[in-house]
Structure 1
Amino acid sequence: MTAHTTGLHHVTAIAGDPQANIDFYIRGLGLRLVKKTVNFDDPSTYHLYYGDDAGRPGSLMTFFPWGQVAPGRIGSGQSTTTAFSVPEGSLGWWQNHFRALGVDASITRASADEERLSLRDPDGLQLDLVASSTTDPRNPWDSSFVPAEHAVRGQHSSVLTVANPEHTLRVLTEDLGLRITGETSGRTRLEAGDGGAGNIVDVVADPSGPYGLVAGGTVHHIAFRVPDRATQELWRQDLVERGFHVTAILDRQYFTSIYFREPGGVLFEIATDTPGFNVDEPLLELGRSLKLPPWLEPSREAIEASVAKIDVPEDNNELAPQNDQPVGGIAG
């Protein structure tokens, strides 16, 4: 192998109403909108990025909110659950918080060391909040909607559901460099880099379940981290030589990306940690205005007329908290 991923970079999902999406992820989950841009392949719709104060890899959840999109079907060949890391002992607060917002959320215990709160976002996307006995050292976004002592620290893990896990596990271990750290009936846990929250993938076998349909309320793809473009180029060459159909390197303005589909059907992305979300606006201004890449700037007037009007809470641009982790990535 040329490279090993150091963990999760982001998860991208399909949403409907962009305002409902903003309200849930800012006011409900307490994340920061770190970039308001458009889908570079379809500039008539937004691409919304949420994360910590600077949008560090491993904190990111992104959406294509396509308005009146048809509902999808969660099933095999997808990333079926996206989990966020929260402090131990905080799930009672979160359950009450969501109850006040009219969101059903139930607590389940996955193991002696891990407790989960399961819920769905306004489009039906499956989410978990995971409270682990292992402290997550990442700093939360200092949101006025969620107290810091309970706030999301970043991604915890993603669940991949596939009919036959054997080939998916081989790709994750042999081609992406994750290692198997636990197995229970029908579920295998893998970890990247230093392990722990933000570096975990759970593969679930579901040979008889329905195949997923990507549309509203489903994950479009899951992205893994690579430090820079030079490493990404070597990794792409390695994947092509191993027989994968890999896209060219695509400029996403805040990182570069390659995509390929693993044998179980899940679309994987490998995204760089750099240059980061402050490349086109100051840290304190992230998410405030519509940002376009240089090649779309000539069409700004038409794009602004085509996208829905949305309201971003002023709290999204309060003074950002200090964080001792670099903007390009989280420590480790």
Structure 2
Amino acid sequence: MTSGIHHFTGITANVQANVDFYVGFLGLALVKRTAGFADAEQLHLIYGDRQGSPGSLLTFLVWEAAGRGRTGIGQVSEVSLAVPSASIGDWLTRALAAGIPLEGPSREFEEPVLRLKDPDGLIVKLVGIDAAIPADNTPSRLRGVTLLTDKAMETAQFLTRFGYSQGARDGLTQRMASETDIVDIREVTGFVPSVPGAGVPDHVAFRAPDVDAVRSMRLSLKDHGPTEVHDRKYFLSLYVRDPAGILLEYATDGPGMTIDEAPEELGQTLFTPPHDADRAEDLRAMLPQFALPGEDRFPARELPFIHRFNRPKSPDGLTLVLLHGTGGNEADLMPIARRIAPHATLLGVRGRATEEGSNRWFRRAGADTFDQADIHSEAEAFRAFVEGAVNGYGLDRNRLVFLGYSNGANFLAAAIQLHPDVVQRAILLRGIQALENPPGADLSGTNVLVLTGRDDVYARDAKALTTPLEAGGADIDLRELPTGHELVAADITESAQWLQRIFKSL
């Protein structure tokens, strides 16, 4: 009978640091990079052995710049990897040299254990096991996971469905064992519930031999509670929660990680789920990029605004700085920007104001009343961001273009007037004048394309926006498109043609 853990899934807020830890430090192989199957705008990375074998897989959902989650009842709390027992001391030395937070070594259930924390704070245990482990000490398989539950007996009984039987006990921890690995059930009655976020595991998946086993498992759970079955391309899986609310998965061994890549090429290509094939190019522009150890990289800088780069294969030196609309994020405008300028580097920026959970660029006092002090302070912070990005990332200031949509265009127009030395080339899509008292700045040498929608119910008279810009000496190209507030193909065409006129060498 096939049993044991198929994979473990966690959440990371920093994809580059995650790759550096799991590939660079631990030595795991990156066996798959894909847009998420539940949310294609979320990068999903899968690490494991060189073949991507079930039982060796750690996967991570990339929630860039997400807040830290909270460890608590109703979740996986730790993941453990098998290493040779004699290598624990070597791993301790390596972790100390790398500055990785650690605890131990210690012994648990008579096994040597070294606890490490990954960059998001997730506890990764290295457990000494003397069986079928590579000579280079690289972790080759999952040793197990730890579950936090306030219903220990019910959780233990539930795990028997996946081929686990009761093993030794140590205090409040009951060990469950399969043919290949273990699950430690830790009773934590009265503890706080878990909160999803970076550094907190999402779920653990157990191995199913085939699709029929998944169907049978679902039938056996019909009186337990809700279940979901999803085709994840590389495996078919069933999702269910145990009596304590812990998310568990039952995943088939096949088709496996080599269904779309040869074994020697695993992890080299970014794939998109079949149901999102028509968005593949847009997703490649939106998803966060990273470098494997040894590859050229673009080290992230600590700047006042959350941001994301997307670099094309053949950059032309142009950088588009993108400011999203209300409710958007740093990746929203990357698809349209990539169509406007196929060879430009894209720098998406996230506004710091929020309104009922939606990202904005400045606060509002009412539907049509903008917080003027907040606009001024955020524009000053944005000025510092641009200076930091130019210097920190080595951007060519003379080939810097800003593109804003809706609330982002409103803020960008204000930034042009408040800091004309920072924003000198801009595309404003569906923008309005947000400043109550435009400063009358000298805008000579500033070029602005303004694209309004003829039927845009949100936009006021475009002249209220363009008149103070023109009065300051800016070169304004105002065009009205036969559309509303939404973006259309004409925005791409007009913007691309304007860029070509501004930069004759493109």
Correspondence for 2:281: 301
Pair 1:64 & 2:61 matched: yes
Matched position secondary structure for 2:270: coil
Correspondence for 1:163: 150
Correspondence for 1:120: 117
Pair 1:223 & 2:208 matched: no
Q: Residue by residue, what CA displacement relative to the aligned partner does 1:246-287 show, whole Å, maximum 9, x if unpaired?
A: 11x211111011101111121000000001101001111100
Instruction: Name which of structure 1's ranges 261-270 and 106-115 shifts more when overlaid on structure 2.
Output: 106-115
Correspondence for 2:138: 151
Matched position secondary structure for 2:59: strand
Which residue of 230, 234, 237 corresponds with 1:257? Answer: 237
In the superposition, the TM-score normalised over structure 2's length comes to 0.57
Which 4+ residue blocks in structure 1 deviate beyond 3 angstroms? none
Alignment partners' CA distance in 2, 1:81 and 1:111: 14
Pair 1:267 & 2:264 matched: no
Pair 1:6 & 2:10 matched: no
In the superposition, the TM-score normalised over structure 1's length comes to 0.85
Alignment partners' CA distance in 2, 1:43 and 1:102: 34
Alignment of 1:90-129 (within 5 A): 90-111=87-108, 113-129=110-126
Pair 1:184 & 2:166 matched: no
Which residue of 78, 81, 85 corresponds with 1:88? Answer: 85
Alignment partners' CA distance in 2, 1:212 and 1:250: 24
- Identity level (%): 35
Alignment of 1:279-298 (within 5 A): 279-298=259-278
Alignment partners' CA distance in 2, 1:214 and 1:201: 21
Matched position secondary structure for 1:90: helix
Q: Give the aligned residue type for 2:72.
A: G
Correspondence for 1:319: none
Alignment partners' CA distance in 2, 1:111 and 1:22: 28
Matched position secondary structure for 2:221: helix
Shift of 1:104: 2.2
CA contact 1:95–1:106 (8 Å) conserved in 2: no
Pair 1:36 & 2:33 matched: yes
Matched position secondary structure for 1:152: coil
CA contact 1:34–1:287 (8 Å) conserved in 2: yes
Shift of 1:219: 0.5
Alignment partners' CA distance in 1, 2:211 and 2:109: 40
Q: Give the aligned residue type for 1:285.
A: E
Alignment partners' CA distance in 2, 1:308 and 1:24: 17
CA contact 2:3–2:162 (8 Å) conserved in 1: no
Correspondence for 2:220: 238
Correspondence for 2:193: 211
Shift of 1:172: 1.1
Shift of 1:310: 1.3
Q: Residue by residue, what CA displacement relative to the aligned partner does 1:44-92 show, whole Å, maximum 9, x if unpaired?
A: 1210000000111110000011101111001111110100000011011
Instruction: Name which of structure 1's ranges 218-227 and 103-112 shifts more when overlaid on structure 2.
Output: 103-112
Q: Give the aligned residue type for 1:103.
A: I
Pair 1:136 & 2:131 matched: yes
CA contact 1:225–1:271 (8 Å) conserved in 2: yes
Shift of 1:312: 2.2
Q: Give the aligned residue type for 1:137.
A: A
Alignment partners' CA distance in 2, 1:84 and 1:39: 25
Shift of 1:105: 1.9
Shift of 1:101: 1.5
CA contact 1:38–1:45 (8 Å) conserved in 2: yes
Hey, which of these two has a bigger chunk of helix by percent?
2
Shift of 1:184: 2.0
Which residue of 6, 11, 15 corresponds with 2:12? Answer: 15
**Shift in alpha-carbon separation, 1:270–1:131, aligned structure 2, 3 A:** same
Matched position secondary structure for 2:42: strand
Correspondence for 1:318: none
Unaligned runs of 5+ in 2: 296-506
Alignment partners' CA distance in 2, 1:176 and 1:283: 28
Q: Give the aligned residue type for 1:301.
A: E
Which residue of 47, 57, 61 corresponds with 1:50? Answer: 47
Q: Give the aligned residue type for 2:174.
A: T
Shift of 1:111: 4.3
CA contact 1:5–1:178 (8 Å) conserved in 2: no
Alignment partners' CA distance in 1, 2:294 and 2:216: 42
Alignment partners' CA distance in 1, 2:101 and 2:261: 37
Shift of 1:5: 5.6
Q: Give the aligned residue type for 1:191.
A: A
Shift of 1:314: 5.7
RMSD of aligned residue pairs (Cα, Å): 1.6
Unaligned runs of 5+ in 1: 141-147, 316-332
Alignment partners' CA distance in 1, 2:156 and 2:9: 21
CA contact 2:204–2:249 (8 Å) conserved in 1: yes
Matched position secondary structure for 2:127: strand
Total equivalences in the alignment: 295
Max Rg structure? 2
Instruction: Name which of structure 1's ranges 162-171 and 277-286 shifts more when overlaid on structure 2.
Output: 162-171
Alignment partners' CA distance in 1, 2:213 and 2:187: 32
CA contact 1:30–1:151 (8 Å) conserved in 2: yes
